[in-house]
Amino acid sequence: MPQAQVPMNTGRDLQKEMLQNWYGQLSQANEKGEKVAYLFISGNIMELLKVFDFHVVFPEVNALQCGIKRTAGDMILKAEDLGYSSDVCGYVKNDIGLVANDMTGPFGKMAKPDLLVCTYSGCNTYIKWFEALAAHFNCPLYMFDVPFSRGPETHAADIRYMLSELKELIALCEKITGKKYDEDKLKDILRRSREAEDLWVDILHSAKRTPSPFDAFFEAVFFMAPIYVLRGSQDCVDYYRAAKAEIDARVVSGTCPIPEEKFRVVMEGPPPWPHFRTFWELFKTWGVVCVGSSYSKVGGIWDFGFRHDPERPLESLAEYSLECYTNYNLGRRVEMLNRYMKEYNADALVIHSVKSCRAFSMGQADMREVFIHDLQVPTLFIESDLADPRYFSKAQLKNRIDAFFESLEHHRIVAGQTA
Amino acid sequence: MKTQPDMKFEERIAWCKEQLEDPTLPTLREFKGRNGTRAPIVGNFPVWAPQEIAHAAGALPVTIAGGGSSVEIDHADSRVQSFVCSISRSTLELGLRGYLDPIDAMVFTSICDVARNLGGVFKRNFPKIQTFYLHCPQNVASPAAVDYFATELRRFRRAMEDFIGDGITDAAIARSVGVFNEHRSALADLYTLRREHPEKISATESYLLLRASQLMPREEHTAILRSTFAELEARPTRRRDKIRVLIEGSFCEQPPWELIESMEDAGCYIVDDDFLLGPRWYDTPVKLGEDPIRSMAEAYVRYSVTSSIRHYGDRPRADHFAHKLKANQVDGVIFCAAKFCEPALYDYVLLKDIADQAGIPHLSFEFEEKMGVFETLRTQVETFVESILLFAD
Ligand code: SF4
Ligand code: SF4
């Protein structure tokens, strides 16, 4: 069977390789005189910047890399030396530490920005973060303001505002790069975005199977990298084709990330990057597979139908920025998680609350109340951090995780459905 | 019972303190008792809200700035994590204890991630309180920002109309803007007095007066301020050997008043501050054009004071801060941020450099609503003051 020949780690290994290449190109951009734009992941409008051939840098991805390569702790301390409080977001401190570290991280040298585009569909911290970089690099900052999403309806006034912003940004890009805006080029890019999005959604939906061939959190956080940082490129489409082939092959061969699936959970919140493996192990031991997660939707939510639309290029960029998880109010977040619970046939919800990110965590304790009391969903609430290694206590987490799944198992036995 | 306007200055300050220390919000209960359902009470979380629109609807707009030191957090801890600022927890606690019952609606705006999500928590936990969320524009450089915000404000106006079951005319909004302009101008006079004659009124007194304004009809408060000024004229005072300082970072969660007093006792004239910034959001009157909603949007986007809770485009906050240092002729800056308040903590890094560039010494500490001991802090400020006085000699 052709599928059986697909290597079983394509999704992870290939994206690693792609990111390495990408970082390699970035490190030379300044010297080659190629323009560099910094963007945030949430609701990012990279397709538009690609029209002007900007290299795009995502400081959050740099922070994530430092986290996973275990250099975040040092970077964070560097930023704290400069006056940043121990209580502010570790991602920012990681990036500021990187700047103070002569722009050098585990991925090599980072390019300096010619333009900062702050997509404010994430958090307020984004604003402070890029204000600091704008001051440091003496670099133009475009504030792409995205109204907060308070319900499923889209307000015409919000879109009007954002369209005007996109046009202003186009003019700014023309000025910085000396290149003219080319709508046909944007359409082409968006067509490729869309193609990749279709494939990515197929992968996400595969977790509806029992057992699930894909971990929609622990694997998704890697599989999602290309859709957030390389969207619109042919490489990105090819990547998702290969990744989807891998998932298809897993289905055929019956290979699953968790060999003996015992519990299906939905995960809310980001992973603790500096302790990613340890964290995963704590769940693996219990045969837990994540069938849905919110973190893999921080940049954009496609699995409910949204796609970039080449026929409505700017409008669809605006809509995309509105509809990412970090731009949802608590009510919408609860709705989405609950939908995952049902559609993916999950047994429990796990809320991983991280200190760094109040955008995510403020309100999560209340969310737990909703799930436990109103929706009667078994819910595990645990705390650590996504960037700062100091806030990870393995013993504490293990206690909570073990106790939770033990009791879940017990309930199952009592209910007569032996696991 | 004496009413506010009959009180003498000291009595009035004592009254303000009483209000502040009673988390059951007696002025609101009294207002409700007097007006019943005729006039709703529309609360807002700091920093700012378009209170003029609520006022035009015949509502009493009030600011609920936390529970201070007087409310034990028994219920809110289970809903808000320990690494979040105290105001979010204590405000929720007020609601969970039923102290916010007189309030009919609550407004939250996009000041920070915590406030944004607190709005969501309110919506779920207090179905009897109508919760509104306003997204205030961050892209002030965009020509479309005013249009956008006018639409957002109209949305709020419609919500208020539905709420009171009646229309709100432009003329009513214009009148309310006038009422708030007068109040802001009275508050500006209060701050001018402090800047020019810091010996006439202490920052603690001024803060207590300011704070009380947020829980009573604005018209009444303007009258109180005006009669206060007349009284203060005659207050015998003597300028002391204190340094002039500026407080920065307390725009949302409010420090305990005892903390302000400790800083003063330690040898500071606090000549300017950003305590409770919402009521002082404009230092010039809101200019009314044909469409008062548009005028309000215009004011917000183009000429509000600066603070850590929004982005100011190409008018960097740093320049404004530098200007503030100069205009107030300060000898020192005290960065006084609520613990876990990210907007203030980020800006500290930027603003301390501005103070350094201006050669102005600074001190920084974080407070919490429930901190009870101010001795260490007082000693710290004393040392700070001494070092400045020494340097000046
Ligand atoms: S607060 Fe959260 S969303 Fe914002 S930069 Fe930090 S980690 Fe990212
Ligand atoms: S004190 Fe700071 S962090 Fe807390 S709600 Fe206010 S602005 Fe937000």
Residues of chain B contacting residue A144, judged by C-beta atoms under 8 Å apart: 139
Q: Give the pLDDT mean for A32-49.
A: 96
Asked if the model's pLDDT at residue A83 lies above 70, the reply is: yes
Which residues of chain A make contact with B138, given a CB cutoff of 8 A?
120, 127, 143, 145
The span from the CA of A163 to the CA of B52, in Å, is 30
Shortest-distance Cα residue to atom 5 of ligand 2: B115
Confidence of residue A3 (pLDDT cuts 50, 70, 90): very low
Within 13 Å of residue B274, how many CA atoms lie on the same side as its CB? 27
Q: Residue A287 pLDDT more than 60? A: yes
CB-CB under 8 Å, A132 with B318:
no
| H helix or E strand, kind and range, residue A382 | strand A379-384
Residue type, position A238, single letter: D
**Can you list the alpha helix ranges (DSSP code H) found in chain B?**
9-21, 26-35, 51-56, 86-96, 113-125, 145-164, 170-196, 203-212, 218-233, 257-265, 292-303, 317-327, 342-357, 375-392
CB pairs under 8 A between A and B: 155
Band the pLDDT of A306: cuts 50, 70, 90: very high
Question: What is the distance between the alpha carbons of residues B384 and B361, in angstroms, rounded to a whole number?
Answer: 8
A33-53 residues labelled b (16+ CB within 10 A) or e (exposed): ebbbbbbbbbbbbbbbbbbbe
- What tens digit of pLDDT does each residue of B299-347 get? 999 999 999 999 998 767 889 999 999 999 999 999 999 999 999 999 9
In the block, tokens 């569909």 appear at A121
Residue with tokens 């300096």: A112
Check pocket membership of B87 for ligand 2, CB cut-off 6 A: yes
Which band of pLDDT confidence, cut at 50, 70 and 90, is reported for residue B4?
low
Q: Which residues pair with A117 in a beta bridge?
A: A39, A142
Cis peptide leading into B47, omega within 30 of 0? Answer: yes
Calculate mean pLDDT across residues A250-254. 94
Residue A117 Cβ contacting ligand 1 at under 6 Å: no
State yes or no: pLDDT of A7 exceeds 70. Answer: no
Are B129 and B95 in contact by the 8 Å Cβ rule? The answer is yes
CA dihedral A164, A168, A174, A176 (to 10 degrees): -150
CA of B264 to the centre of ligand 2 (A): 25
Q: Residues 6 or more apart from A237 whose CB is under 8 A from it?
A: A192, A195, A196, A199
Distance CA B350, CA A179 (A): 34
Indicate if the pLDDT at residue A18 is higher than 80.
yes
Q: What is the pLDDT of residues A219-229, one digit of tens each?
A: 999 999 999 99
* R_g over Cα of chain B: 20
The CA distance from A73 to A82, in Å, is: 15
CB proximity list for B185: less than 8 A, separation 6 or greater: B285
Residue A418 has pLDDT above 70, yes or no: no
CA pair distance A301, B389, nearest whole angstrom: 59
Chain A hits for B313, Cβ within 8 Å: 143
pLDDT in tens, B183-211: 999 999 999 999 999 999 999 999 999 99
* Closest to A399 measured CA to CA, from A282, A287, A290: A282
* CA-closest candidate to residue A28, choices A17, A36, A40: A36
Query: Which residue's CA is the closest to the ligand 1 atom numbered 2?
Result: A357
- The CA distance from B324 to B319, in Å, is 9
| Rounded distance between C-alpha atoms, residue B188 and residue B182, angstroms | 10
**Cα separation of A131 and B288, whole Å?**
32
Least confident of A11-15, A292-296, B50-54: A11-15
| Mean pLDDT of all residues belonging to chain B | 94
Nearest alpha carbon to residue B61 among B226, B187, B176:
B176
Answer for the pair B170, B209: CB distance below 8 angstroms, yes or no: no
Take residue B118 and report the two structure tokens written for it. Answer: 């607190």
Between B41 and A415, residue with greater pLDDT: B41
Q: What share of chain B has pLDDT > 90, as a percent?
A: 87
Here the tokens at position A150 are 């308070």
Token readout for B146 is 């005013």
Which residues, other chains included, contact B219 with Cβ-Cβ below 8 Å and sequence gap of 6+? Answer: B179, B183
Omega within 30 of 0 (cis) for the link into B361: no
Q: Is the CB of A160 less than 8 angstroms away from the CB of B148?
A: yes
Q: Does residue B38 surpass a pLDDT of 90?
A: no
Inter-chain CB proximity A147 and B135 less than 8 Å: yes
Q: Which atom of ligand 2 is nearest to the CA of B253?
A: 1
Q: Ligand 1 centre from B292 Cα, in Å?
A: 37
Q: Which chain B positions have a beta carbon within 8 Å of A160's beta carbon?
A: 144, 147-148
Q: What is d(CA A291, CA A263) in angstroms, rounded to the nearest whole number? A: 10
Mean pLDDT of A105-130: 93
For residues A313-329, average pLDDT: 95
pLDDT value for A419 = 45
Q: Ligand 2 centre and the CA of A319: distance in Å?
A: 29
Minimum-distance CB partner of B139 among A88, A143, A362: A143
Q: What is the mean pLDDT of residues A100-122?
A: 93
pLDDT above 60 (res B1): no
* Amino acid at position B142, single letter: S
Confidence of residue B41 (pLDDT cuts 50, 70, 90): very high
Q: CB of B232 within 8 A of CB of B9? A: yes
Q: What are phi and psi of A373, to 5 degrees?
A: -90, -45
How far apart CA B69 and CA A297 sit, in angstroms, is 40
pLDDT tens digits, one per residue of A342-359: 999 999 999 999 999 999
Query: Is the per-residue pLDDT at B2 higher than 60?
Result: no
Q: Is the CB of A326 under 6 A from ligand 1?
A: yes
Give the three-class secondary structure for B176. helix
| CB B350 within 8 Å of CB A130 | no
Cα separation, B33 vs A373, in Å, equals 35
pLDDT in tens, B112-140: 999 999 999 999 999 999 999 999 999 99
Closest-CA residue of A relative to B342 is A88
CA dist., res. B305 & res. A204, Å (int)? 47
Confidence of residue A35 (pLDDT cuts 50, 70, 90): very high
Report CB contact under 8 Å: B350, A131: yes
Q: ipTM score of the complex?
A: 0.94
A62 lines ligand 1 (CB under 6 A): no
- A417: pLDDT strictly greater than 80: no
Query: By three-state DSSP, how is residue A254 classified?
Result: coil
User: From residue B325, how far is each of A307, B245, B318, B330, B387 by CA, in Å?
Assistant: 50, 9, 11, 6, 19
β-bridge pairing A115-120 and A141-145: parallel
Alpha carbon of A228 to ligand 1 centroid (Å): 16
Three-state DSSP state, A41: coil
Is 60 exceeded by the pLDDT of residue A21? yes
| AA identity, residue B313 | G
Burial class (CB in 10 A: 0-12, 13-18, 19+), A152: exposed
Cβ atoms of residues A120 and A126 within 8 Å: yes
Q: Ligand 1: does its nearest atom lie under 6 Å from the Cβ of A91?
A: yes
Ligand 2 site-directed mutation target among B63, B85, B118, B276, most atoms within 8 Å of CB: B85
Helix (H, G, I), strand (E, B) or coil at A57: strand
pLDDT at A8 (0 to 100): 66
Confidence of residue A2 (pLDDT cuts 50, 70, 90): very low
pLDDT higher than 80, residue A122: no
Q: For residue B274, how far is its CA from the centre of ligand 2 (angstroms)?
A: 14
Q: Which helix (H) or strand (E) holds A47?
A: helix A46-51
Q: What is the mean pLDDT of chain A?
A: 94
Query: Which amino acid, B189?
Result: D
A123 Cβ inside 6 Å of ligand 1: yes
Whether A357 is in the pocket of ligand 1, judged by its Cβ within 6 Å, is yes
Q: Residues B71-95: pLDDT tens digits?
A: 999 999 989 999 999 999 999 999 9
Q: Do B345 and A84 touch (CB under 8 A)?
A: yes
Find the length of chain A.
419
pLDDT at A15 > cutoff 60? yes
Facing residues of B41 across strands? B60
Give tens-digit pLDDT for B251-289. 999 999 999 999 999 999 999 999 999 999 999 999 999
Predicted pLDDT at B236: 75
Q: Which single residue is written with the structure tokens 């800047």?
A: B195
Q: What is the mean pLDDT of residues A94-105?
A: 93
What is the Å distance from ligand 1's center to A156 Cα?
A: 28
Q: Which residue on chain A is closest to B141 by alpha carbon? A: A143
Rounded to the nearest 5 percent, the helix, strand and coil shares of chain B are 50, 10, 35
**Maximum CA extent, chain B:** 66
Whether the CB of B216 sits within 6 Å of ligand 2: no
Cβ–Cβ < 8 Å for B274, B245:
no
Q: Note the pLDDT of residue B317.
A: 86
Token match 């909703």: residue? A370
Angle (nearest 5°) at CA B320 between B317 and B325 = 125
- What phi and psi values does residue A163 have, to the nearest 5 degrees? -65, -40
